[in-house]
Structure 1
Amino acid sequence: MTVKSLISTLTQQEDLNFLLTNRVPRAALTRFMGWFSKIENPWLADASIGFWKLFSDLDLSEAKQTHFKSLHDCFTRELKPGLRPFDSDPAVVTSPSDGIIGAHGTIVDGELYQIKGAPYSLIDLVADPAVVETHRNGRFMTLRLTSSMYHRFHAPYDMTLEHVSLIHGDTWNVNPIALKRVERLFCKNERAVIRTHLATGEPFTIVPVAAILVASIRLHALDRVLNAQTERPLTYSCATSVRKGEELGWFEHGSTIILLAPGDFEFCDNVQDGARIKAGERLWRRRI
């Protein structure tokens, strides 16, 4: 048995996985990784990436770069041009990122799910009554990004970013094992609430949820990084128009994006629990 297969076998054991990724000093470990990942040393970067590959299915063949100056540089890598074409159908709202489709469905009177049988309240997630009223009986979807995935996220449609708020919180792992064991996990972690409206007028909200190790979110519209060290103000008004596929920012490690859409949006036929999806592929069909 190879070292990688042994590690994979061990981490698939739920109790051990949860212990190793959650029963640790999460905030301290996250701060350390934030510092460590930005050390610019080619030898250290290569060694760290090699170690990372032991724990994941990291594939850098799509990366625009062939060498990285730091671990952070690899986390936030760009892709070669043309690898994520966005569906041009004007009725289609696309995925903003690569990810694994998790819980999705209808929000019922402000309640949605992190996994089947584990409900949470929309107000606890977004802490904004106006957003709750907008999406009280809308649609939702969670997209989980693993550590090895492409970490940049894009506009799912022609849209205008209106308001961003940062909600400080914890840094629990967001893998399925943790989602089964930690109630209201998304409502506990560091997260941003990005209010937008589509070019066709419908409201659409994007909630990037950070996680353990490097819990930072970079948004180009604000030209800043949002994380646990961000001081007030924690709310920002903006009026930034973007086109479908335009880059909005990036996570500095794996995490989750929760999408909130109008109730009359229909899920496309490729939306299935556990399906892997790439940025630009269709998620919803809106009425035209």
Structure 2
Amino acid sequence: MPEALAGRSDRFMTVKGLITALTEQENLNFLLTNRIPRAAITRFMGWFSKIENPYVCAASIALWRLFSDLDLSEAKKTEFKSLHDCFTRELKDGLRPFDPDPSVVTSPSDAIIGAHGAIEDTELFQIKGANYSLKDLLGDDRLVETHRNGRFVTLRLTSSMYHRFHAPADFRIEHVTFISGDVWNVNPIALKRVEKLFCKNERAVIETHLSSGEALTIVPVAAILVASLRLHCIEATLNAQTRGPTTFPCDAQVRKGDELGWFEHGSTIIVLTPDRFEFCDNVREGARIKAGQPLLRKP
């Protein structure tokens, strides 16, 4: 075989082997994080994380650090009562300044930016080629019409990130609807394999109107190990014991940057706006964003 052809063959085999290895790694990841009793493990995690024992807490955080990029240097306190206390930690004052421009909708949380773009009639996507509908996500025809042909952005919180989320603009919260569901992992591997994943998991639909009158909807989506979602505006913790769909009336005026609540582990937030909003220059799929940084802008 000529030397040039042999070189090409070797490179082909190397690429083929790499693809095979990555596929096997994805299969293992999906198996370990999804083909298990997800609901039972999530309930167990909710119980276990609240054990207030210094040895259990220290060992759990050490193990967490071993398998993630957990950084507690920004945390307001240095000692935690439990794993739950660490998950839901507050940050030191002033570390997440919110863009003061009233035309800007900021990121409500620290996150990795996922799928985003224009909603095509009522269709949006979790990854390219994997669509889902506003009706399946929101379960409300009226709200579907509100966001028809609008904009959407998906924000994925990893387990090691700051888990509290905040008001991305000045607005009034009008309703919160909790929709019961599953707790699939929401990592990119699962998003490629589970059709309409966000529409299957537990989620809250937070309806708001900006001070300028436009509708903005925030959809926190739970995932495996997310034992509950705490929302201050209804003074309630939403979890598997909450039957849904359940709508909680609400009339809360909040300012940009006000804390809305927290997840008890990493998860996803989907933000929906009208079509007149444009994405800010820093919004790119795969980019990391912090709470308070620009996300969308009204021209």
2:130 matches 1:114: no
2:216 matches 1:239: no
Is the 2:49–2:83 contact (alpha carbons within 8 Å) kept by the matching residues of 1? yes
Aligned counterparts, 1:191-202, within 5 A: 191-202=203-214
Deviation at 1:214, TM superposition (A): 2.3
2:225 matches 1:213: yes
Deviation at 1:215, TM superposition (A): 3.4
Partner of residue 27, structure 1:
39
Deviation at 1:125, TM superposition (A): 0.5
User: Structure 1 stretch 223-232 or stretch 161-170: which is displaced more?
Assistant: 223-232
Runs of 4+ in 1 over 2 A off after TM superposition: 9-12
Secondary structure at the residue paired with 1:173?
coil
What are structure 1's unaligned runs of at least 5 residues?
1-8
CA distance, structure 2, for counterparts of residue 250 and residue 220 of structure 1:
9
Partner of residue 6, structure 1:
none
Greater fraction helix: 2
Superposed CA deviations along residues 164-195 of structure 1, whole A, max 9, x for unmatched, are: 00000000000000000001000000000000
Superposed CA deviations along residues 220-251 of structure 1, whole A, max 9, x for unmatched, are: 00111001111478211111000000000000
Partner of residue 154, structure 1:
166
1:50 to 56, 59, 62: 62
Partner of residue 91, structure 1:
103
Is the 2:180–2:245 contact (alpha carbons within 8 Å) kept by the matching residues of 1? no
Distance 1:190 1:262, change over 3 A: same
Supply the AA of the counterpart residue of 1:162.
E
Aligned counterparts, 1:250-265, within 5 A: 250-265=262-277
Secondary structure at the residue paired with 2:89?
coil
Superposed CA deviations along residues 187-212 of structure 1, whole A, max 9, x for unmatched, are: 00000000000011100000000000
Secondary structure at the residue paired with 1:13?
helix
Is the 1:11–1:17 contact (alpha carbons within 8 Å) kept by the matching residues of 2? no
What are structure 2's unaligned runs of at least 5 residues?
1-20
2:92 to 69, 76, 80: 80
2:286 matches 1:274: yes
Partner of residue 140, structure 1:
152
Deviation at 1:11, TM superposition (A): 11
TM-score, structure 2 as length reference = 0.91
CA distance, structure 2, for counterparts of residue 232 and residue 193 of structure 1:
12
Secondary structure at the residue paired with 1:207?
strand
Partner of residue 4, structure 1:
none
CA distance, structure 1, for counterparts of residue 281 and residue 47 of structure 2:
42
Supply the AA of the counterpart residue of 1:46.
A
Q: Percent identity at matched positions?
A: 75
Supply the AA of the counterpart residue of 1:52.
W
CA distance, structure 1, for counterparts of residue 97 and residue 84 of structure 2:
25
CA distance, structure 2, for counterparts of residue 188 and residue 75 of structure 1:
24
User: Structure 1 stretch 200-209 or stretch 215-224: which is displaced more?
Assistant: 215-224
Aligned counterparts, 1:59-70, within 5 A: 59-70=71-82
Distance 1:130 1:28, change over 3 A: same
TM-score, structure 1 as length reference = 0.95
2:195 matches 1:183: yes
2:231 matches 1:228: no
CA distance, structure 2, for counterparts of residue 214 and residue 186 of structure 1:
14
Is the 2:179–2:244 contact (alpha carbons within 8 Å) kept by the matching residues of 1? no
